[in-house]
Amino acid sequence: MSTTTRPTALWALVLFLVFSVALMLVGQTTAVFDYELAVRLGLQESTAQVSGFGVQVNRAFGTSDTLVYIPLMVASVVGLLLRKRWSLLTTAAVAGISAYWSVTVAFILLNLPGQPGYSYVPGLEIWLFIATYAVFGVLALAYLVARGEALLE
């Protein structure tokens, strides 16, 4: 194991992933099991805003996040901290999901207004959240391609 100082990018990735795991567990996993609790916490939209169909779409994202995204984030954090080569793959998967997920959600939010039963109007904070995950995904992938091995030194 190297005694050199780990790159700042490693700590930025790890902090973003740890924060994301906590946020996804509270907002997404909670919505799978108790959607109304997630609404009360302000982390999901109400049935009145997105319709019953929208609730099920949100729960589907929550299920995918719980079964795929969160475990990949946890594996990435553990692997990066332990300097495991496979963590570059799990981190790339997380980055790809982040970019893909955020573009999909942005498209949904831009195209659903006017649909029957849909009245949700996302605020600036939602667009910033989506943009943050899109930028994270693209920059993390670019960094992994260009300098991923540096994360393991």
CA atoms within 13 A on the CB side of 20: 27
State pLDDT tens for residues 82-107: 999 999 999 999 999 999 999 999 99
The model's confidence at residue 137, banded by pLDDT at 50, 70 and 90, is very high
52-86: b (≥16 Cβ within 10 Å) or e: eebbeebbebbeebbeebbebbebbbebbeeeeee
Pairwise CA distance, residues 75 & 31, whole Å: 23
Model confidence at 23: pLDDT above 90: yes
Would 79 be classed as within a structural domain?
yes
How high is the pLDDT of residue 78?
Answer: 98
Structural domain range at position 137: 8-152
pTM reported for the whole predicted model = 0.92
Of 59, 16, 66, 18, nearest to 39 by C-alpha is: 59
Model confidence at 17: pLDDT above 90: yes
Of 46, 59, 42, 38, nearest to 118 by C-alpha is: 46
Q: How many domains does the chain have?
A: 1
Would 123 be classed as within a structural domain?
yes
Model confidence at 1: pLDDT above 80: no
How high is the pLDDT of residue 2?
Answer: 52
How high is the pLDDT of residue 13?
Answer: 97
Angle at the Cα of 117 (from 116 to 121), degrees rounded to 5? 105
Would 1 be classed as within a structural domain?
no
Would 116 be classed as within a structural domain?
yes
The model's confidence at residue 139, banded by pLDDT at 50, 70 and 90, is very high
State pLDDT tens for residues 27-77: 999 999 999 999 999 999 999 999 999 999 999 999 999 999 999 999 999
Would 2 be classed as within a structural domain?
no
Would 124 be classed as within a structural domain?
yes
How high is the pLDDT of residue 61?
Answer: 97
How high is the pLDDT of residue 3?
Answer: 54
